[in-house]
Amino acid sequence: MGLVEHEELQAREPWLWSWANESIPDTALGGMERVRQYGEENDYPVLPWPGFKSDPELVAEARMVAASVLDAEGLWAESVDGAQLHFMVHDLALADERP
């Protein structure tokens, strides 16, 4: 979905959407282009912008709208090596329910 690079947890660094991150291959983007298009078509700020100043409330709102656009079942964030990575979760199933 996106990432925030930070040195400290309190730092407010730019959010970068995964569709604007050149290091992520197109095959890993899922439907993120639909999120950008939704933002453009509905005049929804931050969704069509490649990045924006990271504010916790704005990031939370953008994540929720993006998850709704793509019918995600959940959201997950992980801090790794100075960056906070954000993911959408799809197709949840209990291990014993999988074929």
Q: Is 52 within 8 Å of 44 (Cβ atoms)?
A: no
3-13 burial string, b = 16+ CB within 10 Å, else e?
Answer: bbebeeeeeeb
| Confidence band for 11, pLDDT divided at 50, 70 and 90 | very low
pLDDT at 38 over 90: yes
The average pLDDT across 24-41 equals 91
- Answer whether 0.85 is exceeded by the pTM: no
pLDDT value at position 64? Answer: 92
Q: Is the dihedral of CA 8, 10, 11, 16 positive or negative?
A: positive
Q: Measured between alpha carbons, how far is 38 from 75 in angstroms, rounded to an integer?
A: 19
Tens of pLDDT, residue by residue over 46-64, are 999 998 888 889 988 999 9
CA-CA distances (angstroms) from residue 15 to 64, 70, 84, 95? 15, 19, 9, 33
Tens of pLDDT, residue by residue over 68-91, are 999 888 888 888 887 778 888 887
Identify any residues that bridge with 87 across adjacent strands, giving them in sequence order. Answer: 76
